[in-house]
Structures are given as C-alpha cells and as structure tokens.
Structure 1
Amino acid sequence: MRAIQVTEHGGPEVLRIATVEEPIETPGSIRLAVTSAGVNFADTMISRDQYVRPTELPYVPGTEVVGTDSTGRRMVGLTTTGGYAEFALVDASRSAAVPDGVTDAQALALVNQGLTAWHLVHTSARVLTGESVLVHAAAGGVGSIAVQLAHIAGAFVIASVSSDEKAVAAKDLGADATIDSALPKDELAAAILAANNGRPVDVVLDGTGGDAFSASLESLAPFGRLVHFGVSGGQMAPLVDPWSLTVGSRGVMGFYNRDAFELPGGFRSPLATMFEQTLSGTLRHLDSAPYALEDAGVAHADLLGRRTSGKVVIAVAP
C-alpha cells in the first residue's frame, strides 16, 4: 500500500512516500480503508524525536484517520502510528461511527483536537459562566474549537492569534477580543490585561509555551487556572517558582489528552455531543484545503510555519 514513511528523524523533508506492507487487524483494533488522515503539531514533534513518547524508526506517521471498516461502516479513530497510509489500524475503544452529514475533516477535527479542547475547557479548567478565558493559537485545530466551547460555556473569550485574518476568524467563532501573539512578553502581558478590560484573566489555555506561558502566568487572576498542553511556539515553558503561585492562589496544570480519554465517558460521550453540535451548526469548523498524501511534508511545513487554520487534513482516497 502507499504510505508516508519516516526512516530518519528530522523536519518535513523526512516525510517520503513509500510502498509498505498493509497492516493486519489484531484483537482490540479495527482495520480501516483510510479516506482522510489528520495532521497534528504532535506529528511534527514525533518526526523530530521531540515528543513525550519515543517512536522507533522506521514508522508511518499519523494518529487519527477516517475510513471504512470491513462492513463499509464509516468510522473515525485513533492509532498510535500509521495514519498517513491507505490502510490503518485504529484502537477499537478509541473509535466511533461518523454520523451522516459530518465530513471527514470535521470528524478528524473532533476526534483528537476537539476532544482535547473539550477536556481543556470542561475537565481541566472547569470554565464557569462569566469567567474570562484566554486561548492561545486560537485559529488552530484545538484553539478554534476551544474558543467556541468556552463561548458556549458563557465565558468572555480572548483569542491570541498571529495574523489579522486569523483574528477575524476567531471573532467569527465567538471570541470577544483578540490579541497579537507575536508581541514580546511584556507587551503581551499588557495586551492580555487590556483585552480583559484591565483585569487579570481567570483561565488560560496554553499550547504554545515560551513567552506566551510567562506572559499568561503574569496575567492570571487570583484562583485562576493556566492549563499547559503543548509547545507549538518551539520553546519550552519556563520553570515556575511555587511561591509565585501561592501569592494569588493561582494554579498551573499540565494536560495530556490520552489521560483524559481514559476517564469514564471521556471519549465517546463528548465526541457524540460535538457531532450533534456540528450537525446543528452550534459548533463550526474552519475550512482548509486538504493535502495529497505525497504532500504530507508540505502539510508539516505549513503547520510549523503557522500558515494553516483549523484542521489540517491529508486526503488519502477520493
């Protein structure tokens, strides 16, 4: 079968089209004929050997796919690796039927990044009506959904974005204010306060790290919560002095979506809710042209260069 294979660690250039053996279905897995595969920032970290879990070479990247099973049922599911291919094995317990009317791109947006956004808003941060929520990378896969979920929860939403175009998109999704994510740390902290009418923010959802993390922590209100879930900005979050949290009663927590998926009802229940919200139009998705399988490296380069919005998708089959 045709697949993208990584035989050495590196950037987008190491993603090459190849012919590999088709996967064989095993107990606990479902074999899908892949129509579309999702691309995540974590995929770029795995190829550079910078992710939380090491991956042995060679491997086929991709952790989420939409495809059909042996009965022709259309499904979306998660896999450890192997998504950028014509066939893939998904975890039976981390898969679900895709309702009619939900596109491949929408299903892929929800199964990983959407569930991440759901648990950031509802499980980790526990956003309350009337609170202020700052979402970094608000036009991205996780951010664009987190903005909407926080808005639906009744929060005042501040979107941190890297361009005027993305600011317009975030406002259209429900953000009440936007800030420029490219500002230096001191200016970014001031911009956060200004966007919240001069007040510190109650919740920060940070998948960026670096200066964004530092500025956000400075801008956090008493009993505020900063949830850190990634380093898409390329710089790790700095070490935090516990005393800086004690004064102000502020909290910093990490988030790893696979932990949330292990919670009772942590996978299929919120996914079903977001499918319903998508079908009703309550939850909207930023459109993005899909990439061909052989252009997976271009997809990674565009994602790293912040040239994408919403869900990045590889079209594997017509």
Structure 2
Amino acid sequence: MRAVQVTEFGGPEVLKPVELPDPVAGPGQVLIDVERVGVNYADTHQAENSYLSPSKLPLVPGGEVAGRTPDGRRVVALVDGGGYAERAVAPEAMAFPLPDGIDDLTALSMLVQGTTAWILLRKNAHLDAGESVVVHAAAGGVGTIAVQLAKAWGAGRVIATASSEEKRALALELGADVAVDSRAENMTETLLEANGGKRVDVVLDMVGGTTTDQSIAALAPFGRLAFYGMAGRKQPKPVELRNLLGHSTTVAGMWLPHVFRLPGNVYGTALTELFDLAGRGVIRAIPGGEYALADARSAHEALRSRGTVGKLLLDPTRR
C-alpha cells in the first residue's frame, strides 16, 4: 500500500511517500480502507518528536481516518499512528459509525478538533450562559468549532483572534461578536477593549508565548484559561500561584488522550452531540484544503505557516 513515512525527525521535509505492506488487524481491531485522513497540528510535532508522547522511528504519522471496514461500514476512527496510508488499523472501540448525512470532512473535523472544543468549554472552562469567551486561532480546526459551540451554548460575547482580515471575517461569519488581530502588541488591552472594557471570563489558547501571558492578565475574577497547544512553539512564562489569587483565576491544561481515563463515556458523549449539532446545521465544518497522500509535506508546510483555516485532509485515493 501507499503511505507516508518518517525515518528521521524534522520538519515537513521528512515526510516521504513509500510503499509498505498492508497492516493486519489483530484481536479487537478493525482494518479500514482509508478514504480521507485528518491532518492535525499534533502531527507536525510528532514528525519532529516534540509531542507530549515521544515518537519512535520509523513511523507513519496520522491519528484519524475515515473510510470503510471490510464489511462495508462507514466509520471514522482514532488510530494509534499509521493514519497517513491507504489502509489503517484501529481499535474496534475507537471506530465510530458515521450517521447518514455526515460526510468525511465533518466526521474528521469533529473527531479531534470538535471534541477538543467541546471538552475545553464543558470540562475545563465550565462555560456558563452569558459569559465572555475568547477563542485564539479562531479560524483553525478547533477554533472554528469552538466559536460555533460557544454561541450555541449561550456565551454572552465571543471574541475571536486571527491573523488576517479573511480569517477574522470567517470567525464573524461563524458567530463571533468581534474579531481582533492576533498579532496585537498588547493582547491584554486588546481583549479588554473587545469586551467593552471588562475583563474576560474564558480564554481558549493553543498559541503559547506572550499570547498566553497576556491572556491570563485579561481574565476576570474566577476567569478560566484553558491551554491545549503551543502552535507558536514558544513557552509562556511559568504561572506563579500567588498571581492567580489576584483575580481568583484558573489556568487549566487539556490533552485529549486523558479524556479516555475519565469515568463514563465523555468522549463518546461529545462526539455524538457534535454529530447531532452538525446534522441539524447548528455547527458546520470548515474545509481547509485537501491534498493527495503524497503531498503530506505540503499540508504540513501550510499548517505550520499558520495560514490555513478549518480542517486539512489527505486523500489516499488521489494519485
């Protein structure tokens, strides 16, 4: 089968198209003929071995696929690597049937980015109706879903940040009340101004660096910042506990794999609700570009440039 393999760690240039033997499903696993592959920002960290969980060489990146099982079922699945390929193996428990009307783009947008947005707002931020919500990188995969969910769940004011007029226009189209430039020199002042001079209640942040530092400084009493990535590849300042007392603020982190350790089926609940909302037109997936499998390098280059919007896909059926 055709696949994309990494044999040395590095940037997009290490993604090489190769021919590999077909994977074989073992006990409790299912083989999937892959029709679309979801590209995540985490994949870029995996390729350079800077992700939370260490990578081992050689590796085929990719953690999410949509396709069909040998008996013809349409599924979307979380895989433990191996997604950038024509065929992949997933645990049966991580292969979810696709409802009628849910296309591959929507399915893959909800599988990781959608559930991330759901969990950030529900479990980390505990969003209450009427509260203000800041969504950094609002035109990205998580951001586009988070803006829509926040509005659907009654946020009082949704403030989007993005780096271009086109991205800010998309955020406004998706329901944000105001969209500001993510490159603002003083993000604290920018967020307060966007919120009518008031401090903000919730911030969803995957940027890092000064964006995180200045967002924490913009939080209202009992405000919450949920941190789930570091796209800027720069560490924020260490959080000093005494500084949290100044406004009774909370800084929380979220890594999606930990959700599977929670009691109950939190992930399944999130995905089911997201598919329902998408099926009813309350939220929608934003296409960010579709690449042939052999062009995975180009997809990573686009993603790392932070010039993309929505969800990026690979198509293994394209030559």
- Equivalent position amino acid for 2:135 in 1: V
Aligned pairs for 1:226-305 within 5 A? 226-263=225-262, 264-305=264-305
3-state SS in 1 of match to 2:288: coil
Q: Is the 1:209–1:233 contact (alpha carbons within 8 Å) kept by the matching residues of 2?
A: yes
**Matches of 2:145 and 2:252, distance apart in 1:** 20
Q: Which amino acid aligns with 1:52?
A: L
Instruction: Tell me how far apart the structure 1 counterparts of residues 118 and 259 of structure 2 sit (CA, whole Å).
Output: 10
Deviations 1:144-172, CA, capped at 9 Å, x for gaps: 10111111111111001111000010011
Does 1:105 pair with 2:105? yes
Match in the other structure for 1:159: 160
> Does structure 1 retain, via aligned residues, the 8 Å contact 2:61–2:83?
yes
Q: Which region of structure 1 is more displaced relative to structure 2, 82-91 or 282-291?
A: 282-291
Superposition deviation, residue 215 in structure 1: 0.9
- Residue 28 of structure 1, CA deviation: 2.5
Cα RMSD after superposing both structures? 1.0
- 1:76 CA drift (Å): 0.3
* Alignment partners' CA distance in 1, 2:90 and 2:68: 11
Q: How far apart are the structure 2 equivalents of 1:267 and 1:67? A: 20
State the distance in 1 between where 2:129 and 2:91 align. 35
**Equivalent in the alignment of 1:200:** 199
Q: Which amino acid aligns with 1:243?
A: R
**Aligned counterparts of 1:99 and 1:183: Cα–Cα separation in 2:** 42
In the alignment, is the contact (CA less than 8 A) between 2:287 and 2:312 conserved in 1?
no
Alpha-carbon offset, residue 252 of structure 1:
0.6
Q: Does 1:189 align with 2:188?
A: yes
Contact 1:231/1:237, CA 8 A, preserved across alignment: no
Deviations 1:55-86 (A, max 9, x none): 11001000000010011101001011000000
Matching residue's letter, 2:18: A
Q: What one-letter code is carried by the residue in structure 2 that aligns with 1:103?
A: D
Give the AA of the match of 1:171. Answer: L
CA distance in 2, matches of 1:291, 1:213: 32
How far is 1:288 from its partner?
A: 2.7
Letter in structure 2 aligned against 1:158: I
Contact 1:139 1:170 in 2 (8 A): yes
The answer to whether the 8 A contact 1:139-1:166 is kept is: yes
SS of 1:80's equivalent in the other structure is: coil
Q: Larger deviation: 13-22 or 271-280?
A: 271-280
Structure 1 residue matching 2:110: 3-state secondary structure: helix
Assess if the C-alpha contact under 8 Å between 1:94 and 1:267 holds in 2.
Answer: no
Give CA-to-partner distance per residue, 1:295-317, whole Å, 9 cap, x none.
10000000000121101110112
Provide the rounded CA distance (Å) in 1 between the counterparts of 2:254 and 2:216: 16
Code of the residue aligned with 2:112 in structure 1: it is N
Match of 2:69 in 1: 69
Aligned length: 316
TM-score of the two chains, using structure 1 as the length reference? 0.97
CA distance in 2, matches of 1:3, 1:203: 41
Separation in structure 2 between the aligned mates of residue 316 and residue 272 of structure 1, nearest angstrom: 27
TM-score, L = length of structure 2 = 0.97
| TM-superposition CA deviations, 1:203-239 (whole Å, max 9, x none) | 1111111111011001001101111110011112220
Alignment partners' CA distance in 1, 2:208 and 2:150:
21
1:43 equivalent in alignment to 2:43: yes
Sequence identity of aligned pairs in percent?
Answer: 43
Tell me if structure 2 keeps the 8 A contact 1:30–1:91.
Answer: yes
The 1-side partners of 2:256 and 2:289 are apart by 26
Report if aligned partners of 2:289, 2:311 keep a CA contact under 8 Å in 1: no
Aligned match of 1:140: 140
CA distance in 1, matches of 2:19, 2:198: 56
- Stretches of structure 1 lacking an aligned partner (at least 5 in a row): none
AA at the equivalent of 2:109:
A
Question: d(CA) in 1 for partners of 2:267 and 2:187?
Answer: 35
Q: Deviations over 1:264-308 (max 9, x none)?
A: 121222211111111111111212331100110000000000121
Q: Which residue of 2 aligns with 1:83?
A: 83
Query: Which residues of structure 2 form unaligned runs of 5+?
Result: none
Question: Distance in 1 between the 2:168 and 2:257 partners?
Answer: 30
Q: Does 1:122 align with 2:122?
A: yes
Taking the aligned partners of 1:230 and 1:171, their CA distance within structure 2 comes to 23
